[in-house]
A and B are shown apart, each in its own frame.
Chain A
């Protein structure tokens, strides 16, 4: 566990860091790196939380709403249902901005889990058991070293995903974005189930190696 005694200091650093990141992008730097982008998303969530900032929300909306919609369509929703659900997911982001904890997940991961939950509620019409103690409620401001560590891990994972052999990456994408179980992927692709399982396992194993 990281020390909580540095909270005051780290909170201050956090604000400066985010402002700097925001400025970097606002200046119009041609090459907005993923890392800067992720910092910008975090500061957007904080602006929604602190100032009900619609411009920050619009920025997140432009990037994520169509992606959430695409995710839901791939999961079997029709266009109008996906549209409505994507709007609801983004509204949830607004309402729950105070619960977002950047030491536990990136903004994209947080939105992904909201969208995934919505998919289970609406499309699969199932109850959705969640583990104990997984509320997104930081009782205090998260420790900035934890936030940075998580950002670095996200960056590493993102790079590792892009360098994964195509066959492995595509199957992982299908598992998330095709709403297919491994045996359904087998039926669809004609590949033996064992091949699919081992490719996904290899892919995850490789991701795990890069995270060490």
Chain B
């Protein structure tokens, strides 16, 4: 089975600093692998550990520095990787991003059986790119995947966690899944993996390599655009501090919580 693992480098949103003009200070903003993509990786790795002949190719779109993230993934179990990097990809919304990634998969990794994505990326948090890639490739998708149960005769069985319950679903491959956080033991790099990660060549593809035109990608290929961006307004409330639990219970009562 050939798995394409889609990953994204994101700014560490827990550590954002603001300039005097209320714009995000991008310099020195640390990039991390999107936390949900780690779960996607672990789901792919479980399949690799469970079945024979599973190959995982990681794919990302981003600046040249994203190569470091790909090498780290190779050190912990990914087999090979592809980097999509081109100034013409910049400013892409989810539509253009998905179109670019789908074009790359079609032209470079077309013999895939399964595409694995994280359910969200913590920077944009749209949860749209995965389903959008699936649509461009005309394959089914399964979102909110909590657990991959198994793979048999060209079908993958997964469990989805939805608002109202859990759904066990069987999907015909090729397909795309979006993975939620699950219970995984963190994977440590093994010495062979580290050596492999340093030796393997990671091809970098630009817009011409994947057969897209300038109108298809980046800002130009994006149906949406940011009209304005501003710092989120802070709710200003004067907190009344209390000292004792009795006072706190009184506050809870005042706020409509009745201790019975």
Q: Does A associate with B in a complex?
A: no
Q: B-side interface residues toward A, CB under 8 Å? A: none
